[in-house]
Amino acid sequence: MQCFHCGREVRETTHTQKGYRVDYYLLHTGRTEWAFLKDPKEDGATLHYLKLQDPIDIVSCADCYANPQIRQRLEQDFNGSASILNGEGVKAAEKNTSPQPDHG
Ligand SMILES: [Zn+2]
C-alpha cells in the first residue's frame, strides 16, 4: 500500500512490547453525490443525502497524517464539506526545487 499524499510505501502496524506503532491511517471514503429522496406523501419533505459512489480507501502515512494541512483535508472529507478526491492534491512531500549553489 502506498500513501495517497506522498506515495511512500506504508508498513503494517507493528506491535511492540509497549503497544503498537501505526505507520498509516485509513480513511474510508469515495466520490459522493447528493441524492434526493422524495417522500411519497403529498407534503412530505424531500430528503437529501450524500450517496457514496465509488468507495475508496485513502491511505495516509504517519508523516502526512502529522501534517496539519493534510489532517484538515481528511477532516473535511470526513465531514463531507470537501472531498479529498476533488482537490488539487496536497503536496506534502514537495521537493525543494530551489537551485542548488554551484559547487565547482
Ligand atoms: Zn505520506
Residue 83 Cα to ligand 1 middle (Å): 18
Residue 67 Cα to ligand 1 middle (Å): 9
Residue 49 Cα to ligand 1 middle (Å): 31
Contact (CB, 8 A) for 57 and 27: yes
What is the distance between the alpha carbons of residues 49 and 34, in angstroms, rounded to a whole number?
Answer: 6
pLDDT, tens only, 49-78: 878 778 888 999 999 999 999 999 999 888
Residue 94 Cα to ligand 1 middle (Å): 11
β partners of residue 52: 32
Residue 28 Cα to ligand 1 middle (Å): 16
- Which residues in 1-104 belong to E strands, given as ranges? 14-16, 19-21, 24-38, 46-61
pLDDT, tens only, 1-52: 999 999 999 998 888 888 888 899 998 887 777 788 777 777 778 888 878 7
